[in-house]
Structure 1
Amino acid sequence: MTDHPPEAARAAALDAARRSILSGFFGLGLFMGMWGALVPARSADLGLSELMIAGFLLLVGISLCAAIFMVTRFRPFQDPVRLIRFAGPAYAIGFALCLTTGSPPLFFLCGVFTGLAAGFVDTALNSQASQWEQAAGRRAMSFFHALFSLGVLFGAGLVTYFMATEPARLAPGILACAVLYGGFMAVRRGWVSTADAASDEAAPEAAEFRLPYGVIIFLGLAILLATLTEGGIIDWSALHLHRSLGLPYAEAGHAVLWFSVAMTVTRFAGDWLTDRIRPHMLLAVPLIIAAILLMMAVTTTQVALLMMAYVAMGLALGNAFPIIISEAGRAAGDRPLREISIIVGFAYVGLISGPALFGVTAHLVGLDSTLMLLGVLALILGLASFALPRFTGPRFTGPRFTGPRFSGRGRNR
């Protein structure tokens, strides 16, 4: 067999790694979308109250945080490729059992198992995405996360279709998705390689974070604000439109739909935009505009203006998570798993604490004030984004390294 020229082999390896990461993010979102669509049905089938569902989500969140702690503290969990290969199938199987079991104890047990696996897979995929960006010398994080958003929409749509047309095929369909995704993640070989990390483990600095703690805290708080705002809009926008403005449930739900679509669309365009606009400006300006628009809409109680505000929020927030992770990885270097895991941990704190925080706020001061608080959080994030270059260095301009750093031969095997 004739050897490929080095550049051709490198391009093939890049392409194979890109397909692997895209597939990983799509599957990660797929099962989360299925869960979102099945919450009412799971609650009814298992006889779970709202409090029990909240307890289940809390268990999942604690397990996620435990996984992130293990990644940051224990070296066996610091190889992203190894994490993906064992945690990817575990995530798929665990989620499939959560979505199909008729046993409440098994449901809660699988929640713990799935939370651990999700924490491992999420941090590993984001680390791989950051390494791919540095190896390719171009941005791709927003597009990777767009596949996650697309997976959420596809998973929710698939479950909704089966429930409406062929309910008997719902459980087999979920299990089939788990087998396909889990099997793919277990056998896929086209990833960004971490083989040279072993030679660095003996170095004294290998045990330390590559970024100063101040930088990690700043980026962590930024992503916390982003996930708090995103989760708050998803959880409370429709309820606000229904209870405060009197819209029917079907119409009020359009707020979440348009917000989610806007987030997905802007992620597909995110890498193109960050090649032309400085990342901190791409975050700051849209967030400030969207925050002001949301606060004006809540104050004036105009339904059309509120819908516009939610679309603007989706466009502004869509690239917040990818840009923050990308900037963290670029600043951390070619093996950013530990730093990224900490920052992703802040994101999960926002996702876990957000429903309770805004629920208490809505109970104490009302839904209008809750939506105003979301606008304030978005405004704070927008203003803080102006400081992003001071914490992450100069704008991304090219690859950190030029040698081939890929496992596989540019093909699936």
Structure 2
Amino acid sequence: MHRRSFDRFNWQDVLREIPPSHIATRVSFFLAGFLMALWASLVPFVKSALGLDEGAFGAVLLSIGFGALVTMPLSGILIGRSGAKKVLAFAVPVASSLLVAAALVPAALPSTAAVVVILFCFGAFFGAIDVGMNIHSVVVEARSGRKLLSGFHALYSIGGVAGAGLMTLLQTAGLPGVGSACALSMLSAVVWLFAGRAMLPDAGRNAESDGHGGPKFVFPKGVVLFLGAVCFILFLVEGSILDWGALFLMDEKGAALEHAGMGFAIFSVAMTVMRFVGDRVIMSIGPKRTVVFGAAAAAFAFVLAVLSPNAWTAAAAFFLVGLGTANIVPIAFAATGEQKEMPMSLAMSAATTLGYAGLLTGPAAIGVLAEATSLSTAFLSEAVLLAAVAAAAALTSVFRKS
């Protein structure tokens, strides 16, 4: 009987039960992580072609972040007029094409200025993708009546793992890295050509806009400013572990060079796993408790990392940071979509921009503080910020419904 039941199980029937807009949203998050992983794999090739040292190339890389910060607020305006579907229909293939340019131009024309322009444009269109997919995901969750955002965000991490793994596999098989990245970038554009058709055409479009009017840029205020600050802190935490985690384990905890990268790897695994189960967690204990307990646990984990006697217990603390912070940003985005103080498209672009600003500027601020005091003290400052998030969430009703 069990064998016959298994034989009758049809994956096509299961897939038909998933709304096409849900599949398209998952594909958008997957492709965003996938494209960023392809760029990461191109970094050594581009640096070598330009012949820059680490400091000069680091300045070149900043152009990606600046491009994203410039267009994220503008993306909210465009989405409010035309909807996320139209913006993503243009942004995904253009970003994919710019990755191809970033791969080919340095070899054919080793001009630093040209690469800066290309990467600025790539960051700009990737910023539009980030805002568009997040706005669409909030609308999809709201219309479904279920918690879906954490699962959507988990697909970004999976896309990153898939992109990095596939590039490694292809290069191990003897295929050129630049050619592989170009082919996979174009494949991403083709995939989105089909998957993007299922996006909701009105997602993110302001009710009062007919596609030609609607509100212009509005500086975030009230609850949107608070939610943007939460995103800033959470992205700052992620960026600090990415940029400073290995150095902390080496200099403060005595980790060997070959083990120093385990901190961010463990943090990323924990965040991905928790996001896969995050929607169930949120439905079980509620979004407010998820934020309060998660931020408090992450704050405690930073203290534990600083006080830990060796690198292994500090890395375990990073795992707890990943578990605690994993679902806070999806909940903050959901709350941003539910607030009524600003049009949803503008509010989401503001929260996303502030979060991205935290990812870019936060690690630099941690570095300045570490220079003035120590890296351990800098990490303790993040514990204070996370404790503030937990306290604010406990004392307000912002996350009650999200």
- Sort the TM-score into its range (normalised by shorter chain): 0.7 to 0.9
Shift of 1:258: 0.7
Distance 1:295 1:337, change over 3 A: same
What does residue 70 of structure 1 align with? 74
What does residue 7 of structure 2 align with? none
Correspondence 1:145 to 2:153: yes
What does residue 43 of structure 2 align with? 39
- Alignment map for 1:8-407 (pairs within 5 Å): 15-73=19-77, 78-102=82-106, 103=110, 104-166=112-174, 168-187=175-194, 188-194=196-202, 197=205, 200-201=208-209, 206-207=214-215, 213-332=221-340, 336-387=344-395, 389=397, 391=398, 394-396=400-402
Pick which of 81-90 and 69-78 moved more. Answer: 69-78
Distance 1:170 1:218, change over 3 A: same
Contact 1:70 1:77 in 2 (8 A): no
Task: Please give the alpha-carbon distance, in whole angstroms, between the structure 2 residues aligned to 1:320 and 1:78.
Answer: 29
Distance 1:212 1:31, change over 3 A: closer
Shift of 1:196: 10
What does residue 12 of structure 2 align with? none
1:286-327 per-position Cα deviation (integer Å, ceiling 9, x unaligned): 221231232133134333321221000011111122111112
Structure 1 unmatched ranges of 5 or more: 1-10, 397-413
Shift of 1:35: 3.0
Q: Residue 155 of structure 1 aligns to which amino acid in structure 2?
A: G
Q: Residue 70 of structure 2 aligns to which amino acid in structure 1?
A: A
CA RMSD of aligned residues (A): 2.9
Shift of 1:165: 4.3
Q: Residue 172 of structure 1 aligns to which amino acid in structure 2?
A: G
Distance 1:94 1:340, change over 3 A: same
Distance 1:171 1:133, change over 3 A: same
Q: Residue 311 of structure 1 aligns to which amino acid in structure 2?
A: F
Distance 1:222 1:388, change over 3 A: farther
Task: Please give the alpha-carbon distance, in whole angstroms, between the structure 2 residues aligned to 1:195 and 1:375.
Answer: 36
Q: Residue 298 of structure 1 aligns to which amino acid in structure 2?
A: V
Q: Residue 309 of structure 1 aligns to which amino acid in structure 2?
A: A
Shift of 1:155: 1.8
Shift of 1:85: 0.4
Distance 1:355 1:96, change over 3 A: farther
Task: Please give the alpha-carbon distance, in whole angstroms, between the structure 2 residues aligned to 1:49 and 1:37.
Answer: 18
| Identity rate, percent | 26
Task: Please give the alpha-carbon distance, in whole angstroms, between the structure 1 residues aligned to 2:297 and 2:87.
Answer: 40
* Structure showing greater relative contact order (alpha-carbon pairs closer than 8 Å, 6 or more residues apart): 1
Shift of 1:335: 7.2
TM-score using structure 1 length: 0.84
Shift of 1:330: 2.7
Distance 1:382 1:364, change over 3 A: same
Contact 1:94 1:114 in 2 (8 A): yes
Q: Residue 84 of structure 1 aligns to which amino acid in structure 2?
A: L
Shift of 1:59: 1.8
Task: Please give the alpha-carbon distance, in whole angstroms, between the structure 2 residues aligned to 1:346 and 1:196.
Answer: 19
How many residues are treated as equivalent by the alignment?
383
1:325-358 per-position Cα deviation (integer Å, ceiling 9, x unaligned): 1121133599722211110000111111023212
Pick which of 257-266 and 30-39 moved more. Answer: 30-39
1:244-277 per-position Cα deviation (integer Å, ceiling 9, x unaligned): 2221122121111111100100111111111111
1:202-221 per-position Cα deviation (integer Å, ceiling 9, x unaligned): 69x94279998201100000
Structure 2 unmatched ranges of 5 or more: 1-14
1:14-63 per-position Cα deviation (integer Å, ceiling 9, x unaligned): 61111111111111001212333443453233222333333223222221
SS in structure 2 at match of 1:200: coil
Pick which of 143-152 and 333-342 moved more. Answer: 333-342
Contact 1:287 1:317 in 2 (8 A): yes
Distance 1:191 1:99, change over 3 A: same
What does residue 5 of structure 2 align with? none
Q: Residue 180 of structure 1 aligns to which amino acid in structure 2?
A: L
Q: Residue 151 of structure 1 aligns to which amino acid in structure 2?
A: G
Q: Residue 38 of structure 2 aligns to which amino acid in structure 1?
A: M
Q: Residue 94 of structure 1 aligns to which amino acid in structure 2?
A: L
Distance 1:332 1:364, change over 3 A: same
